[in-house]
Amino acid sequence: MTAILHVNGITKRYGGLTAVNKVSFEVAKGEILSVIGPNGAGKSTLFKLISSFVPATEGEVLFGGERISDRAPHKVARLGVVRTFQETTIFRSMTVRDNIIVAHHLRSKASLLGFFAGSRQARADEEAFGASADDIIAFLCLDAIRDELASNLPQGHLRALGMAIGLATQPTVLLLDEPFAGMNHDETMKMVANVRRLRDERGVTVLLVEHDMPAVMKISDRIVVINFGEKIAEGTPAEIQSNPRVIEAYLGSEDAAIGM
């Protein structure tokens, strides 16, 4: 098992408050790893640290041995570490298909000037992106909504679209921020299946931050648990479920361990 992503003692302080404290773990190539923790445990901050959307106070994140902390988010994305968003942040006034096409930006070979002038490469790119978008739409079973405006979509579809956008960049590692939030049981199960297929069929390594315990237990190869900004456990779903520190952390919090 080769690690593709190393998180080394990453720390984030806001003024006097330590949101994430010396968290370290590794993500192996082709695995699905979940980060869980009670509300306010620092999951979201950790997620933003890994995707380099906020700068780390200390520590670093390595991708394939290369340091990606302190790099601009778009450069991290270019390297192949791509995040989705927890909030339903999609290009709202575009259709589902246009959203996905725009998301192919990383793969464009033609320059912006080329696109402006309509060069041959640009036209080839556009065609390829369109085909690829259709492919992704089929892969995630979004055919029914492909020409729908994103602003008209219900929660569940927005998440799927968020994933489709991430997928369009052909990521090596896809970071999913609470992909199951706001979904009902059926939608969650569909999403779980999609994430698994993503890994199985496309070889994408998945790191996700999530609240929904049953889904996490079902989907993950390994789980990292954080509480009060610190890592308190790491292991397979079975190990995590029987870990006394984890149970304690969840019982001590308000949203006590759903399904544990």
Q: Which of residues 119-178 bind another protein (CB under 8 A)?
A: 122, 125-126, 165-166, 168-169
Judged by phi (left if over 0) then psi (alpha if -120 to 50, else beta), residue 106 lies in: alpha
Q: Is 98 in the site for another protein (CB under 8 A)?
A: yes
Terminal-residue alpha carbon distance, the chain: 29
Q: By rule CB under 8 A, what string of x and - marks binding of each residue 54-93 to another protein?
A: ------------------xxx--xx---xxxx---xxxxx
Nearer to another protein, 118 or 203 (CB): 118
Run of H or E residues at 34? strand 32-36
Query: Which of the stretches 31-39, 55-63, 101-109, 248-256 binds another protein when contact is defined by CB under 8 A?
Result: 101-109
The answer to whether the CB of 154 falls within 8 A of the CB of 186 is no
Q: Which of residues 222-251 bind another protein (CB under 8 A)?
A: none
For the beta carbon of residue 148, count every other beta carbon within 10 angstroms: 15
What's the CA gap between 220 and 172, in Å, rounded? 17
Residues 6+ apart with CB under 8 A from 85: 162, 177
Size of residue set near another protein by CB under 8 A: 35
Residues near another protein (CB under 8 A): 51, 53, 72-74, 77-78, 82-85, 89-94, 98, 101-103, 105-106, 108, 112, 115-116, 118, 122, 125-126, 165-166, 168-169
